[in-house]
Amino acid sequence: MKKIRVPPTSVKTCRSLNNPDFYRFIQTNHPGLVPFYERLYVLVPDGGAPTDWRALMNDAQYEIHLAYGFVIAFAFVEQIDDTMGNLVWLESRIRGYGFGTYLRRRLRHTFVDVLPTYISKESASYWNKELGFDKEHEEGYSLHEYMTQLCGDLKPHFNWNALLDVN
């Protein structure tokens, strides 16, 4: 992950976002999320000069940013109870800077915690570190014990079996 000075950002829902480019992006790349579009959380630039983002974006992204504003990262979260958000989808459109992680952590202002529903083999090493299972596993915790500690009674909502193959 590259260290940078991030210009100001804010988290919004698509319900309050008027961005035809992002809607087309979802329709084209993630049609399964279209029914949930208004419930998506997005990380967007907020304040500062548009040129503050130039070094972080490719040419196409920067042109979109100038025309409509740019959705940096987005997440689909379903609330399970008063304290837990079930992270169904998380994606950064500007890769390599940790914006997806940043968005997930900012969503803790809306939910007490936001945990991934499913961890794939491809994302297991990321989630192993992000959730801290790498350190807990070294301490001797099993995945079952660790998930019980993090998720409590909500554990059946999550499938993190791919973490077993990381260690």
The pLDDT score that the predictor gives to residue 81 is 86
With 90 as the cut, is the pLDDT of residue 32 above it?
A: yes
Q: Residue 2's pLDDT is what?
A: 62
Q: Torsion angle, CA of 88/12/110/103, rounded to 10 degrees?
A: 60
DSSP label at 7? P
Q: What is the pTM of this model?
A: 0.87
Give the chain's domains with CATH numbers.
Answer: 1-117 (3.40.630), 118-167 (no CATH)
pLDDT over 90 percentage in the chain: 62
For 43, 53, 61, the CA distances from 65, given in Å and listed in that order, are: 13, 9, 6
Which pLDDT band holds residue 3 (cuts at 50, 70, 90)? low
Q: Is the pLDDT of residue 25 over 90?
A: yes
Region 45-74 average pLDDT: 90
